[in-house]
Amino acid sequence: MNKKTEQTIPQPIYRHDYRQPDYWIDKVELAVDLHDDVTIVRSILQIRRNKDTASEGQPLVLNGEKLTLKEIALNGQPLPESAYQVDREALIIFSVPDHFELSTVVAIKPHENTELVGLYQSNGNYCTQCEAESFRRITYFLDRPDVMATYSTTISADKARYPVLLSNGNRVATGELENNRHWVRWEDPFRKPSYLFALVAGQLVCHHGTFKTMSGREIRLEIWVEPQNIDKCEHALLSLQKAMQWDEQTFGLEYDLDVYMIVAVNDFNMGAMENKGLNVFNSKFVLCRPDTATDDDYEDIEAVIAHEYFHNWTGNRVTCRDWFQLTLKEGLTVYRDQRFTADMTDFALKRIRDVKKLRTLQFAEDQGPMAHPIRPESYIEMNNFYTITVYEKGAEVVRLYETLLGKEGFAKGLARYFEKHDGQAVTCDDFRVAMAEANQIDLTPLDRWYSQAGTPVCEVRGRYDAEQMTYTLQVTQSRAPTPAVQPAFMPCLIPIRVSLFDPKGQALPLQLADENVPIGEERLLSLSETQQQFIFVNIPQEPVLSFLRGFSAPVQVKMQRPREHLAFLMAHDNDSFNRWDAGQILAQELLLNLAQDWAAGRELKLDPLFIQSFGKILTDSRLNPSLKAMAMMLPDEKFLGQQIEPIDVDALYEARSFMTRVLARTFRRELLALYQQYHSTSPYSNSRSAIDARRLKNTVLRHFLTALQDEEVIALIGQQFQHADNMTDMQAALSCLMELEIPEREQALQQFYGRWQHDPLVLDKWFALQASSSLPKTLDRVLSLASHPDFNLRNPNRVRSLIWTFCSLNQVRFHSADGRAYKFLAELVLELDRLNPQLASRLVGAFNQWRRFDKLRRNLMESQLNTIIAQPNLSTDVYEIVSRSLN
Ligand code: ARG
Ligand code: ZN
């Protein structure tokens, strides 16, 4: 996060420039003395020359930023000033021996740190965030993941104000000091890269439990929180225990240290961080109680806790050689947490949610200025590459291995990966090779998934030949257009699951032309060329095709087919994902047509076929209620916007509102009956069936009944709001009220504020709910909320709840044609950039799609982007995003 000055244009670094470091650091001894005005960090490093790269006498260049060097000694001898040089980014020692000990003392100022990287304060407590390149803000170091060392950390601080002092590994000694101070020493026996270092100090209390590992060791589990939150930790603890057990059962992976600590902090740039033995979490992904957190919050907490825990093997034990390999640990760990959540909840439901997220956000990233391969080729600011592409598309690419090798083959490959690379810093290629070796199969065709940006598009044509009784699938692949210049697209290996159905909904036995007998009713086809044909034989009548079942590869599908086929699949497909998807595709097609009609001033009419299919879903009593809720949800405006150019925000909004109203009116009786059926009068429970019930009835209420705006519905909403004994129902009711211009709206907001103003995570919801309202007055409301006393630029959660919710999730109101929201965002980004560049750079991404809008909006956004880029002293974070956007 170096500041861009007018003289220096930030330069990218390239993957192909990787070389090993000239020196290795084997051992780190840190002593961190926390004082109000300044923190003193003493470090003793055991360093040796890397014989493979460095010639003798090569200078030692250590990273360091925002450090004040106080002392420096080599092998115990203070260094004269002529022996080294310090600049804004580095400490250079001109000449060093082959083996030596380097001692430094630096001063840092965590209380002035608003960037929330390195050592900083949150609610008066100290914590750290070192990934990717922020350990260098704590001490001078070779701050790169291929330098792995063991750490011993001694922390000292005022005893009353910082009774709890934590770092990685095991607590090995403690002691008292003068002036009411105390110290604690931690030792982490596992070698690790500096980005996994962590330190926490403060007034914290601990909710603890244990876990007995498969080899019989007892691990102490500790969730550390501020005292007022001690009653919100049980779910996090249970989630951790489940994750530990799942990883043993699924992959035979056991935890290695004797203690596992999680600390919840209020001010955190990201979700959470997997520091060895001492995870630091955004409190949003730890704290919950039924009255403060929704069912979705509970599920997110379980998933993030698991994600960070799984990193202990995929990330920590085996780490990344360089940051270009980030997807090696993130894609793999997201894949693992997705499977975990599927096992804890419902496979189809989880798959649908993940694919929805991928298609809405990652496909958009792929089609915008930030398009990059899951293993990027270059970056200016690494923090900008913690993206949905690296994470979620990365997870889809890992899933390709599972699809090709089967679950068992995948597990074998993973075992081989650990056997070969435990304790090492490796690359994505190493992962692929381990998978291939274990299964004795050539996986080099998968390489293009790592090296190419953009979403492959499969164009599909199915042709039935009644005479020959054959069904021929013709599939081509290309790439969806990207604005950023990309090298020519090379075909990928795309595994495609397919089935064919007869008119009764029976899956047909599938026999390819070169086979003697049918092999199953679902086939995995491998598309590896630009164009391929697959011929199925002995097909007695024209079938209905179910293509890319379970979303077997992260691609877009283009296929002309009669609406009747989609309606048929909605009713009959035995792949739950595709069954849901058929409904989405049909709804999407109709919504896009309606949007065109609206824009042309034509009368809007909804296809009766869709109304009928929707009715079948509503009344299908075999369908799991959560899945039913998913199937009822219409594609969102942002997703629809991606399918057209230019994006007509008003037309999409009107089309979707129209469809919602027609469905709500047509099925008013059925919807009310569903609501009543699933609206529980018994007290809150967090059983699966209770969660499913809440999901369905709240979808019915929020996404359909509310559109009717009649008294009966308003009364239902009011009752639910007043009587809810859990946050899921309360938030759902309040979000219904956000869509209604009635007195109850403001009353409810006030009541909610009065009750929850002292709980930051719940207050975030209060901001977010108002920001997500589709009422025309929302822009003004957001502008005024930005000067609300509880709005605070220094708290990332609060910023995201108001600003991100509005600018990124509320398409129709953010893109108001007067450009006021654009101006608001640009000003806010500039203000925030001085405090927290990482967060500012995330927010400015709300402009990334600007070229896809109509001329008026395009110009308005472009001029805001130009204003931003013209700013002197812009951070490299924001500079990189905006310059890519304007290029
Ligand atoms: N490794 C963390 C995770 O579990 C995320 C860290 C994000 N750090 C950053 N500098 N952006 O996904
Ligand atoms: Zn991660």
Helix (H, G, I), strand (E, B) or coil at 600: coil
pLDDT, position 681? 83
Q: Look up tokens 């805001």; give the residue.
A: 864
Report the alpha-carbon distance of residue 539 to residue 520 in Å, rounded: 14
Distance CA 197, CA 193 (A): 8
- Cβ of 273 closer than 6 Å to ligand 1, yes or no, is yes
Asked if 151 and 169 count as a contact pair (C-beta separation under 8 A), the reply is yes
Mutation probe of ligand 1 site: the residue of 130, 262, 270 with most atoms within 8 A of C-beta: 270
Which residue's CA is the nearest one to ligand 1's atom 8? 131
Contact present, 521 and 508 (Cβ < 8 Å): yes
Rounded distance from Cα 315 to ligand 1 centre (Å): 11
Write down the pLDDT at residue 54.
77
Share of the chain above pLDDT 70, in %: 99
ipTM: 0.98
CATH superfamily of 19-203: tricorn interacting facor f3 domain (2.60.40.1730)
Listing DSSP states for 236-271 in one string gives HHHHHHHHHHHHHHHH-----SSEEEEEEES--SSS
Nearest Cα residue to atom 1 of ligand 1: 273
Kindly give the number of the ligand 1 atom that is closest to the alpha carbon of 117.
10
Query: What is the average per-residue pLDDT within 282-295?
Result: 98
Tokens of 740: 């209604």
Residue 484 is predicted with a pLDDT of 72
Q: What is the value of pTM for the model shown? A: 0.98
d(CA 557, CA 455) in angstroms, rounded, equals 10
The values of phi and psi at residue 405, to 5°, are -100, -15
Substitution candidate for ligand 1 out of 116, 127, 131, 276 with most atoms within 8 A of CB: 131
Closest CA to 339 of 401, 428, 297, 280: 401
Mean pLDDT value of segment 482-506:
92
- HSE-up of 325 (CA within 13 Å, CB side)? 22
Proximal ligand: closest to the CA of 270: 1
> What atom in ligand 1 is closest to the CA of residue 391?
12
Ligand nearest, relative to CA of residue 330 = 2
Ligand nearest to the CA of 387: 1
| Rounded mean pLDDT, 555-575 | 97
Across residues 520-543, what is the average pLDDT? 98
* Closest residue CA from atom 11 of ligand 1: 383
Q: Look at residue 3 and tell me whether its pLDDT is greater than 60.
A: no
In short, whether 198's Cβ falls inside 6 Å of ligand 1 is: no
Query: Which H or E run includes 601?
Result: none
321-451: CATH class: mainly alpha
**885 CA → ligand 2 middle, Å:** 26
> In this structure, are residues 3 and 874 in contact, taking their beta carbons and an 8 Å threshold?
yes
| Any atom of ligand 1 within 6 Å of the Cβ of 29 | no
- Ligand 1 pocket, residue 384 CB under 6 Å: no
DSSP designation for 54: P
CB 244 within 8 Å of CB 218: no
Contact 846, 804 (CB under 8 A): yes
Q: Give yes or no for residue 4 having a pLDDT over 60.
A: no
Distance of CA 416 to the CA centre of its chain: 28
| Phi-psi label, residue 860: left if phi above 0, alpha if psi -120 to 50, beta otherwise | alpha
Is the CB of 132 inside a 6 Å radius of any atom of ligand 1?
Answer: yes
Q: For the chain, what is the radius of gyration of the CA atoms?
A: 28
The predicted pLDDT at position 779 comes to 98
Mean pLDDT over 716-733 rounds to 98
- Ranges for all domains in the chain classified under CATH 2.60.40.1840: 456-553
Nearest ligand 1 atom to alpha carbon 132: 10
Distance of CA 203 from the midpoint of ligand 2 (Å)? 27
Rounded to an integer, what distance in angstroms lies between the CA atom of residue 129 and that of residue 115?
10
Structure confidence at residue 6 as a pLDDT band (50, 70, 90): very low
Report the separation in Å between the CA atom of 131 and the middle of ligand 1, taken as the mean of its atom positions. Answer: 6
Decide: residue 277, CB within 10 A, 0-12 exposed, 13-18 middle, 19+ buried: buried
* Sign of the dihedral through C-alpha 568, 570, 571, 576: positive
User: Taking residues 115-132, what's their average pLDDT?
Assistant: 98
For ligand 1, atom 3, which residue shows the shortest CA distance?
Answer: 273
According to the model, what pLDDT value does residue 486 have? Answer: 77
Any atom of ligand 1 within 6 Å of the Cβ of 1: no
Of the candidates 271, 270, 351, 354, the residue with the CA atom closest to the CA atom of residue 306: 271
For residue 79, the CA-to-ligand 1 centroid distance in Å is 37
What is the Cβ-side half-sphere exposure of residue 482, based on CA atoms within 13 angstroms? 28
Q: What is residue 104's three-state secondary structure? A: strand
pLDDT > 90: percent of the chain: 97
Report how far ligand 2's centroid is from the alpha carbon of 40 (Å). 30
Which residue type is seen at 517? V
Q: Stretch 247-276: mean pLDDT, rounded? A: 98
Q: Tokens 């940051």 belong to which residue?
A: 323
| CB of residue 383 inside a 6 A radius of ligand 1 | yes
Parts of the chain belonging to CATH 1.10.390.10 = 321-451
Matching residue, tokens 């907490």: 301
Cα 739 to ligand 2 centroid, rounded to whole Å: 36
Determine the distance separating the centroid of ligand 1 and the alpha carbon of 486, expressed in angstroms.
27
Residue 1 has pLDDT above 70, yes or no: no
- Cα–Cα–Cα angle for 455, 456, 458, rounded to 5 degrees: 135
Query: Hey, what CATH topology would domain 456-553 get?
Result: Immunoglobulin-like (2.60.40)
Measured from the CA of 329, which atom of ligand 1 is nearest? 1
Nearest-CA residue for ligand 1 atom 4 is 273
**pLDDT (mean) for 491-499:** 98
Q: How confident is the model at residue 279 (pLDDT cuts 50, 70, 90)?
A: very high
Whether residue 635 contacts residue 611, with contact meaning beta carbons closer than 8 Å, is answered with no
Report the 3 state secondary structure along 812-879. HHHCCCCCHHHHHHHHHHHHHHHHCHHHHHHHHHHHCCHHHECHHHHHHHHHHHHHHHCCCCCEHHHH
Residue 282 CA, ligand 1 centroid: distance in Å: 11
- Ligand lying closest to the C-alpha of residue 331: 2
Dist CA 218 CA 237 (whole Å): 15
Look at residue 792 in the predicted model and tell me its pLDDT: 98
Q: Which ligand has its closest atom nearest to the C-alpha of 329? A: 2
CA distance 476 to 491: 9
pLDDT the model gives residue 8 = 77
Let me know if 848 is exposed, middle or buried by CB neighbors in 10 A (0-12, 13-18, 19+): buried
Residue positions annotated with a catalytic role: 308
Q: What is the pLDDT averaged over residues 667-681?
A: 96
Centre of ligand 1 to C-alpha 383, Å, is 8
Q: Is 131 in the pocket of ligand 1 (CB under 6 A)?
A: yes
Quick check: CB of 386 below 6 Å from ligand 1? yes
Cβ–ligand 1 contact at 272 (below 6 Å): yes
Which residue(s) pair with 27 in the sheet?
46, 150
Beta-carbon neighbour count of residue 265 at 10 Å? 27
308 lines ligand 1 (CB under 6 A): yes
Please, how many CA atoms are within 13 Å of residue 789, restricted to the half-sphere of its CB?
3
Report which bound ligand comes closest to the CA of 279. Answer: 1
CB of 270 within 6 A of ligand 1: the answer is yes
Short-list 489, 508, 500, 426, CA closest to 460: 500
Instruction: Decide if 173 contacts 167 (C-beta within 8 A).
Output: no
Q: How many CB atoms lie within 10 A of CB 604?
A: 16
**Which atom of ligand 1 is found nearest the CA of 838?**
11
Q: Are 87 and 62 in contact (CB under 8 A)?
A: no
Query: What would the pLDDT profile of 305-336 be if each residue is shown by its tens digit?
Result: 999 999 999 999 999 999 999 999 999 999 99
Q: What's the whole-number mean pLDDT along residues 135-148? A: 98
Q: Look at the alpha carbons of 641, 807, 771, 821 in this order and tell me if their dihedral is positive or negative.
A: negative
Instruction: Establish whether residue 330 lines the binding site of ligand 1, counting it when its CB lies within 6 angstroms of any ligand atom.
Output: yes
Per 3-state DSSP, what percentage of the chain is helix, strand, and coil (rounded to 5)?
Answer: 45, 20, 35
For the residues 252-272, what does the mean pLDDT come to? 98
Asked whether the beta carbons of 156 and 33 are under 8 A apart, the reply is yes
Pairing of strands 425-426, 77-78: unpaired
DSSP structure string for 709-740:
--HHHHHHHHHHHHH-SSHHHHHHHHHHHTT-
- For ligand 1, mutation pick of 274, 300, 386 (most atoms within 8 Å of CB): 386
| Distance separating alpha carbons of residues 334 and 330, to the nearest angstrom | 6
Rounded Cα gap, residues 418 and 436, in angstroms: 14
Which strands, in side-by-side order, build the sheet including 164-167? Answer: 118-122, 125-129, 199-202, 164-167
Which residue out of 273, 839, 876 has the highest number of ligand 1 atoms within 8 Å of its CB and is therefore the one to mutate? 273
Let me know: does 462 contact 501? Beta carbons within 8 Å: no
Contact at 8 Å (CB) between 94 and 69?
no
Q: Return mean pLDDT, the chain.
A: 97
Spell out a b/e string for 110-140, using b for 16 or more CB atoms within 10 Å of the CB, else e.
Answer: bbebbbbbbbbbbeebbbbbbbbbbbbbbbb
Whole-angstrom CA distances from 836 to 3, 796, 867, 876 are 12, 9, 19, 12
Q: Is the peptide bond before 132 cis (omega within 30 degrees of 0)?
A: yes
Measured in angstroms, how far is the CA atom of residue 305 from the centroid of ligand 1?
13
pLDDT the model gives residue 482? 78
Q: Over the stretch 54-84, which tens digit does the pLDDT of each residue have?
A: 788 899 999 999 999 999 999 999 999 999 9
- Which residues share a beta bridge with 188? 151
d(CA 138, CA 141): 9
Closest residue by Cα to residue 27 from 9, 45, 10? 45
Q: How confident is the model at residue 145 (pLDDT cuts 50, 70, 90)?
A: very high
Strands (E), 213-338: 218-225, 259-265, 272-273, 278-282, 319-320
> Taking residues 864-871, what's their average pLDDT?
98
The C-alpha atoms of residue 348 and residue 753 are separated, in whole angstroms, by 37
State mean pLDDT over 585-612.
98
Q: Is the CB of 274 under 6 A from ligand 1?
A: yes
pLDDT higher than 80, residue 472: yes
Segment 1-30 shows an average pLDDT of: 85
How many Å apart are CA 230 and CA 287, to the nearest integer? 9
Ligand 1 atom having least distance to the Cα of 382: 10
